[in-house]
Amino acid sequence: MLHPSYTDLINAVNKGVEPGEEPVVQSRYSIVIATAKRARQIIAGEEPMVPDNGKKPLSMAVEELYESKVKIVSDEDSSEEENN
């Protein structure tokens, strides 16, 4: 069993969303994609934002998302940041 659960991860990622705004993440698919992308970044050499403790990159990526150490941004938001 995955801990934290998908529901817990979705709630953790969306906790800063104001009522009436669209949630950052609405599906398990979005969580899987974001977690896999972060795990690949860790594998490529980026420093993990949580203690390693012998964990695999995917476990570290899940923990980072759950603890709000990384932020999921939409493709539109990331292209706006690149243009500024």
- Tokens representing 56 are 């695999």
- Percent of the chain scoring above 90 in pLDDT: 43
CA distances from 72 to 13, 38, 40, 66, 75 (A): 8, 10, 15, 11, 10
- The residue among 75, 69, 76, 63 whose CA lies nearest residue 9 is 63
- Residues whose CB falls within 8 Å of the CB of residue 1, separated by 6 or more in sequence, listed in order: none
CB 9 within 8 A of CB 31: yes
State the CB neighbour count (10 A cutoff) for residue 74: 11
Given a cut of 70, is residue 38 above it in pLDDT? Answer: yes
The pTM of this model reads 0.79
Residue 1, pLDDT score: 43
